[in-house]
Structure 1
């Protein structure tokens, strides 16, 4: 279901079928990026050695968006605010497809 601000809710589906965290975004990729930032990050982009499969079910539908995601740590930008940590977690995702749940 689309909210008034245009955002949709996506539920992270674990391997055992359990639905855990909820991520929101106008597009599934936004929610997947948020989910990927919670992965265990590699020390740098060059050291990323594995990718995790992220399955996000759009609430109110039977669509499951499937992404490969990975995360890494890098130094904050020069123009970042002082209160921000010196290292930040970055993430990227690659869409693998869409599945439809059997109802």
Structure 2
């Protein structure tokens, strides 16, 4: 398992055919899944957000972490920094399980 000096691991986003398009890094699979979920088409409010499947293979392993993710747009907090836009994209994920691949 390849880890960087800061403890972050790389996770490849997999589609249903098994091809890997993007790589997200994080200390945990959930952290990488949240980054991937923020790239989903955001809904106007969390309640209206569609759930989508997210599969991430940990680089250097045969483990695929499966999540259900969703994203939405909401108003930024009142104490936001000047550079932050007025409306921000937020995301959440729910773990569905881990799959162990036979081969990569």
Map of 1:60-71 to 2, 5 A cutoff? 60-71=60-71
> Once the two structures are superposed, what CA deviation does each residue of 1:55-82 show, in whole Å capped at 9, x if it has no partner?
0000000000000000000000111111
TM-score, normalising length from structure 2? 0.95
Give the Å deviation of 1:100: 0.7
Q: What is the CA RMSD across the aligned residues, in angstroms?
A: 0.7
Query: Displaced runs of 4+ in structure 1, greater than 3 A?
Result: none
Q: Aligned with 2:40: secondary structure?
A: coil
Map of 1:1-103 to 2, 5 A cutoff? 1-48=2-49, 50-103=50-103
CA distance in 2: counterparts of 1:99 and 1:46, whole angstroms: 29
TM-score, normalising length from structure 1? 0.96
CA distance in 2: counterparts of 1:7 and 1:15, whole angstroms: 25
Q: Aligned with 2:55: secondary structure?
A: strand
Unaligned runs of 5+ in 1: none
CA distance in 1: counterparts of 2:47 and 2:25, whole angstroms: 29
